[in-house]
Structure formats: C-alpha cells, structure tokens
Amino acid sequence: MSADRARSALVASLVRDGRVRTPAVRAALETVPRHLFLPALDPGGAYADVAVPIKVDDGVTVSSVSQPSMVAIMLEQLEAGPGHRVLEIGAGAGWNAALLAELVGPDGAVTTLDIDDDLVAGARANLDAAGFDGVDVVVGDGALGYPPAAPYDRIELTVGSTGVRPEWVAQLAPGGRLLLPLTVRGSQLSVAFAHTAPGRLHSRSVRSCAFVRLRGEGADPGAEVALPDGRWRVQPACGSDDADVPDPRALARATTGAGTDRPVAAAGTVADLWDGLGLWCAVADPGVVRLFGPAGGGVAPALFDLGGVRATLGLVAGDGCAVLLADPEATVRACGPDGDLAAERLAGLVAGWVDAGRPHAADLRIEAVVPSLAGPGGGAERGSGVDRAGPGDVVVDGAGTRLTLRWGPATG
C-alpha cells in the first residue's frame, strides 16, 4: 500500500470512529505525511493506529510518536486555529508540531521543545524533510515552558505531568488554552483548560490517555511501591506526600487469595481501573489503590488481565483491605482484621458510582488556581474543599497549583 492510501485509510477510520470531528483537523491529518517522521517504517507501520517508541533509556520509553487516534482527540480538544501562537512541550519526532503548523497556518507560529538534544535534532530534520521549516524547534526543560516566545494562545503537552505548573499558566495568553496529560489521583487524563482569569483555569474537556512522563524539573517518580515479596506493586491514588495516603503493605494480605467475598452493585472492567469506576473511587476516597502482580498464584487468577500482568482496584482501611474481583464478577474480597470495613467502603463507592449514572473521565470537571498568579483572594483556602466526592468538591494541591475536582455538567 502506498503512503497516500495508507494515510487516507487511517484518517477515514478516525473520522468513522468519531476521533476527528472538525474539517480543520481532518485536513491537517490528510496533509501531513506521518511516514516522513517515521522513516524506518513502511507505510503500513507508519499509518497504523499505534504509538511508536523513538527513544528508550534503560528499557523505559522516554519518547514516542503518539497514537494517531489520541493525537486527533487532543487536536480537537486544543482547538488551535489560524494565527495562533502555539507552544508544544515534547517534540518527539516532530509530527504533532507539523500538524499544529498546518492548523495555525502562515499567520501563526509553532514552537516545539524537548529536553534531549538528539530528539530536537531529529525533529528538526523530519520537519525540514516534510516541508515545515517554519517551526521553531528548541532544546529546553518543558517544566519551565519557553518564555522567549510567550505569550501563547495554545500550550500543548505531549508528555504526562502530575501537576499544572505555574510557568505554563504565566505564559498562556488571556482566553488561551492549556492541554496536557494530567495525572489525577493515579489516572492520567487529557485535560483541556481554558484560561478564564489571571491564575485561573477551567476544564473544557477531559479524556482518558496514556503518555510517557515529563522529565527534568517537573519529573515525578510517582508513589508506586513494591510489596515485601517483590512480586506485587501498589499504586496509591494519593501522592506520597499526602497525609491521607494509606499503608499499601496492608494489601499483602490480599495477594494470598484468602478472604471473604461479598457482592457489589456493578462489575468492573480493565478500563475501569483507571477510568469510570476506578477514577470515581480514587477521587472519592484517599484509601483507594491499584494493585499489580504476576499472572499466576494466590489471588492473581481472580483479577483483571492487563497484558500478562494481573491488576485490580483496592482500598486500604487500617489493618485490612478489600479488592475488586474480575472473577466472580461484581465481587469484592475482604482481607485482614479490618477487611470488612474496607469492603464496606469499597462497596459504597461502587454503589455511588452506579447511582451517579456511571460517570467517566469526560464527566469530571477540574478548576485550577495558581495562588501566586491569581492575586489576593484568588485561591481558595485548603480547608474550603471537602475530602470526599459526592455533593462537594475534592481539592488536590501540587506543583504550585490547586486543583478542585467535581463531577457533573460543565459550568462554563
């Protein structure tokens, strides 16, 4: 298959599946030759709907060319248009920067940066080969943005961050848009924020996503820990500096498979571990964790299959825990002296999710306030939010920005 035919087939599938909604994004994807940014692949590989790693350090992917369907979703979220000044953080191979340049046209400007010299050199060469020599490609730490070309009408991160950094908000023009893969209680979400007032952002759309993490000053190793046997890992919903973070070692009891089972209001899925039910539970209760382990032995056969790894959602309470089972469906297993308490809480969270209409990432609303930029009285006090989901808000602090999470329709 030729490159042109492969590109046309890819775009047609993205339109059919609802990833591409606007003529501008469709035209950009039809115009920019992705295969020139992945010269080692044949057209079939270059236009497959998969992410392609382009740099690996110590066995860990640190840069990739993003999956086309995710790129399309984020371009629709960003709403970049003619004349916009755009900053992209995470140059990769340069393909997304070329798409942005196509969207903003000759009257706009695109700056893309990356922390590694070799990635910047590669992106520059690819952009030149594809005829996009007007894109400014620079080396820099994305956590700091790029002040020389600010302010920007649009800022897009193609790497994941655990917070909204004040530097990005300070470099965003009034009424501009910040789009980033943001980790919220252990789930990575593509959040499009509108800059509504000094130091204040409101989400306009939220989607599930999965990106490599930001490196440099904004790097965060995460709070994931290994259980004593070394075979199981635990990812708390809260950060390691959160006063409410549970002791994940209590989950060691669950890995043996012993415990008491009870039914809950809904069955879970692999996707629910991060979106839907999993996101709802993690936002609502700081005792929520995600558990990962080997495919065989103990509780593993009863958990969710995640590409050869077993995983589940759990909750720690005191000296006990509860985990959601894939088999039997709609079942929670209580383990340890306080297991019944943990199971009661987890069952209540599942019931609350069902009663709320089974919301997913797209139903989450996020307000971000940078107190240092908002001025006197611009940010709410930490105690003004409540610590559980439901009728109130959940407040999360990090990276110099305060996030307020709530479920329900957008407030504009």
Share of the chain above pLDDT 90, in %: 79
6 in Cβ contact with 18 (< 8 Å): no
DSSP state of 54: E
Q: What is the pLDDT of residue 242?
A: 55
Between the alpha carbon of residue 52 and those of residues 33, 79, 212, 213, the distances in Å are: 15, 25, 12, 15
Tell me if residue 190 is catalytic.
Answer: no
In this prediction, residues 365-385 reach a mean pLDDT of 71
**Residue 51 identity (one-letter amino acid):** A
Residue-level pLDDT at 228: 86
Q: How far apart are alpha carbons 20 and 22 in whole angstroms?
A: 6
Measured from the Cβ of residue 116, the count of other Cβ atoms closer than 10 Å reads 16
Q: If you average pLDDT over residues 162-184, what whole number do you get?
A: 96
Confidence of residue 244 (pLDDT cuts 50, 70, 90): low
CA atoms of 281 and 324, how far apart (whole Å): 12
Mean predicted confidence (pLDDT) in 297-318: 94
Q: Taking 60 as the threshold, does the pLDDT of residue 368 lie above it? A: yes
- DSSP string computed for 224-289: -EE-TTSS-EEEESS-TT-TT---GGGGGGGGG--SEEEE-SS---TGGGTSTHHHHHHHH-TTEE
The whole-number average pLDDT for the span 219-230 is 83
Q: Specify burial of residue 40 (Cβ count, 10 A radius: 0-12, 13-18, 19+).
A: exposed
Is pLDDT of 367 > 80?
A: yes
pLDDT band at 383 (very low <50, low <70, confident <90, very high): very low
Catalytic member of 2, 8, 63, 187: 63
